[in-house]
Amino acid sequence: MVPIPIISEKGVLMHTPPSHPARSWRRLLGVAMALPLLAAG
């Protein structure tokens, strides 16, 4: 059940239009930091 939310998050990130590069960077950083936490948890 762990890879399901990760895939959904990636789909949402890729689905969102790259209109705000700063926001996408923040989201990418947030996902990057959340991935190890989900993997460890």
- Ordered by start, the domain boundaries in the chain are 3-40
For residue 33 the two structure tokens come to 């930091």
Per-residue pLDDT tens digits for 1-41 = 465 555 556 655 555 555 666 677 788 888 888 888 878 87
Quote the CA–CA distance of 19 and 31 in Å, as a whole number.
Answer: 18
pLDDT of residue 3: 58
Q: What is the pLDDT of residue 10?
A: 60
Q: What is the pLDDT of residue 24?
A: 72
Backbone angles phi, psi at 12, to 5 degrees: -65, -45
What's the predicted TM-score (pTM) here?
Answer: 0.37
The secondary structure of the chain, three-state, reads: CCHHHHHHHHHHHHHCCCCCHHHHHHHHHHHHHHHHHHHHC
Q: What is residue 9's predicted lDDT score, i.e. its pLDDT?
A: 60
pLDDT of residue 13: 56
